[in-house]
Amino acid sequence: MPVPEVERTAEDIADMEIRGAASIAEAAADALEAQARASEAASPDAFRAEMRAAARRLRDTRPTAVSLPNALRYVLRELDGDSVEALRVSTIEAAASFRDQLERAQDDLGDIGANRLQDGDTVMTHCHSTDALACVRAALDDGKHIEAVVKETRPRKQGHITAKQLREWDVPVTVVVDNAARRYLDDCDHVLVGADSIAADGSVINKVGTSLLAVAARERGTPIMVAAQTLKLHPDTLTGHTVEIEMRDESEVMTDAERAEVGDVAVENPAFDVTPPRYVDAIVTERGQFPPESIVTLMRELYGEGTTEPWAET
């Protein structure tokens, strides 16, 4: 049985109290650390089994953001030692080094992304991405004036989180409904979004609506920049697997009262969509910026030809 902190983190990820691919990854690593600290396992085998069970519980919360299994793999891979104590220490160290890497990657990515933003530029955002905002933050730190058109991002209106953050940084913000995006693209110099997963062919899996925005941006000639640290590269896609798109509760789209009023309708609520590489100008990572079609080279270098499932029951 995972310790209560793992259970709590798993519930918070599933309920989107903790959300955003990078934050989910960090919370998962923290939860594995909590499991290690609280473990009363009687043997190294029992400790390892507990860690695998905790990782499975966390893995099963949301299916699309690959940062979650990538974080779990990172920590489990570092488990080392012949005693429970040694295993505990190695887990705690692995979680700490994961957190360091995450923070460094986002800072480095921000510096690279900021080079694409000129003084006086306006960006259009979709949903809320800490990787995307790191680029704006770094541009502001370079002394550039940046403005933003922030898409509301139905159904959960996560654009509001972006708007709030940008206002805290004194960035002038205009919030628009999603359907107004094309009207405002002419006023924007970049579309700037994050990613939950990037596939080997350079497809970008991000909050639903990204693909529609990208097609419209291409038609208007506005460049589309995806900010995604390498933790978002989906290694399973190297071997032909596809990325599962999370379907969320229908009530996020229509309340029960609205449905009662409208009548008997089917409601679908996919949380993400896939933007083909031809609509993306650059994927900005902490290792540099890449045309989407060449991201596979970096993916091979970092993840080899595929991955294991170190959380599997043995």
Residues acting as catalytic residues: 127, 196
**Smaller CB distance to ligand RI2: residue 34 or 133?**
133
- For residues 192, 195, 201, 203, the Cα torsion angle rounded to the nearest 10 degrees is -70
Q: How far is the CB of 101 from ligand RI2 (least distance, A)?
A: 14
Q: How far is the CB of 52 from ligand RI2 (least distance, A)?
A: 24
**Smaller CB distance to ligand RI2: residue 50 or 131?**
131
Q: How far is the CB of 12 from ligand RI2 (least distance, A)?
A: 12
Would you tell me which residues interact with ligand RI2 (CB under 6 A)?
Answer: 19-23, 127, 129-132, 158, 193-194, 196, 206-207, 271
Question: Reduced to 3 DSSP states, what percent helix, strand and coil does the chain have, rounded to the nearest 5?
Answer: 50, 15, 35
- Which two structure tokens, joined as six digits, stand for 264? 């008997």
Checking 37-40 for CB contacts under 8 A at 24+ apart, the result is 37/88, 37/92, 38/3, 38/5, 39/3, 39/84, 39/88
CB 41 within 8 A of CB 84: yes
CB 211 within 8 A of CB 191: no
Q: How far is the CB of 188 from ligand RI2 (least distance, A)?
A: 17
Phi, psi of 198 (to 5 degrees): -125, 130
At residue 165, the 3 state secondary structure works out as: helix
Q: How far is the CB of 11 from ligand RI2 (least distance, A)?
A: 15
**Smaller CB distance to ligand RI2: residue 36 or 216?**
216
- For residues 55, 61, 65, 71, the Cα torsion angle rounded to the nearest 10 degrees is -20
Do β-strands 204-207 and 197-198 pair in parallel, antiparallel, or remain unpaired? antiparallel
- Which two structure tokens, joined as six digits, stand for 52? 């695998």
Q: How far is the CB of 155 from ligand RI2 (least distance, A)?
A: 11
**Smaller CB distance to ligand RI2: residue 39 or 106?**
106
**Contacts with 116 (C-beta within 8 Å, 6 or more apart), sequence order:** 135, 190, 225, 282, 284, 289
108 CB neighbour count, 10 Å cutoff = 17
